Amino acid sequence: GIYAEMRKNNNPDQEGVFISMSHLGPDFVRQKFKGMVNRCADSGFDLAAGKVEVVPTAHYFMGGVVVDVNTRTAMEGLYVAGEDAGGAHGSNRLGGNGVANSTVYGGIAGDTMGRDIVGMTLRDPDEEVLATELERALYPLTQKPDLVLPLRKQLQDLMWEEVGVMRTEAGMKRGLAGIAQVSDALMDVGVDDSNLAFNLTWHDWLNLRSLCDISEVITKAGITRENSRGAHFREDFPDAGAMEDSDFTVAQMNDGTVQVTREPVQFTIVRPGKTVLPEDAPETLVAAQ
């Protein structure tokens, strides 16, 4: 709704829309939302009694490495817990779940590793893999130094405009073309190698390389999902589709190309519209589930 209002551009000097909580009573707002009130105050805004301009922003990546229920991945010895694991949230993420995610699955990962290590043996590292990764990291030091941040801003604007809050196939395809342009341009940008001990520009270059890669994944995943679920909204496919037919997106790098497939959700614990709670459970628990 906020993004739709922003699109109207009723006031060119105003970027977002205003949130007002004063009708709840300033003292009540200060008591219930103390942290947010203080944060807004630090930025010069009065959340309790005034208005604060707000816009949508990228908050959380609802995906991650494919794991089993014990945090194992397809790679022996690699375990993923918390916000880097895929499949924990479905179409959306509830606020506060990140801490529980990390705590619960962090403990599970520790227990699983403790059991698995008994049957593992140490092996020599793959020197070829190490050499390839070292070459990738050192690549920007071999090119003529240039500015990195303008390309990062170009990628940010591109993803906001073409792969943002409200998406279409045509827009995301334009996005893919733009991502490729930024990616290609980055490979011609170098970093000054006079000081490698604390070179933030080098960090920025490597971060942007990763951002180009994950932007391609996000865009291709958005194109292949022809429905609207949670934070993913397709203007050309606004319907959510039947929950019983839910599927999820799997992105893999094969021969240097990102390939996206879809896999059906296995409802092994509870099916849509059902509950695992007993019939006499308090209504608050049922609503929360």
69-108, pLDDT tens digit by residue? 899 999 999 999 988 888 777 777 777 788 888 899 999 9
Residues facing 263 on adjacent strands: 248
Q: Please state the rounded mean pLDDT for residues 14-41.
A: 94
Q: Is the pLDDT of residue 157 over 60?
A: yes
Tell me the fold of 127-264: Methane Monooxygenase Hydroxylase; Chain G, domain 1 (1.20.58)
* Per-residue pLDDT tens digits for 188-208: 999 999 988 889 999 999 999
**E-state strands within 143-282:** 247-254, 257-264
Contact between residue 58 and residue 76 where contact means Cβ atoms under 8 Å apart: no
CB atoms within 10 A of CB 66: 17
pLDDT for 34 equals: 95
Quick one: pLDDT band at residue 285, thresholds 50, 70, 90?
low
Conformational region of residue 14, where left means phi above 0, alpha means psi within -120 to 50, and beta covers everything else = beta
Mean pLDDT of all residues in 44-59: 91
| pLDDT at 173 exceeding the cut of 60 | yes
Q: Is the model more confident about 38 or about 84?
A: 38
Do 196 and 202 form a contact (C-beta atoms < 8 A)?
yes
CA distance 224 to 232: 12
Query: What gap in Å lies between CA 70 and CA 81, rounded to an integer?
Result: 9
Residue 151 CA to residue 64 CA, distance in Å, equals 25
Average pLDDT over residues 147-171: 96
**pLDDT attached to residue 230:** 85
In this structure, are residues 19 and 46 in contact, taking their beta carbons and an 8 Å threshold? no
Please, are residues 159 and 215 in contact by the beta-carbon 8 Å criterion? yes
In our burial notation (b when 16+ CB lie closer than 10 A, e otherwise), range 5-42 reads ebeeeeeeeeeebeeebeeeeeeebbeebeeebeebee
**Predicted pLDDT at 177:** 98
CATH 1.20.58.100: which residues of the chain?
Answer: 127-264
Mind giving me the DSSP string for 120-166? -------HHHHHHHHHHHHGGGGS-B--SHHHHHHHHHHHHHHSSSS
Give the model confidence (pLDDT) of 210-260 as tens digits: 999 999 999 999 999 999 988 899 999 999 999 888 999 999 999 989 999
Query: What percent of the chain has a predicted confidence (pLDDT) above 90?
Result: 70
**Higher per-residue pLDDT: 60 or 7:** 7
Distance separating alpha carbons of residues 63 and 92, to the nearest angstrom: 10
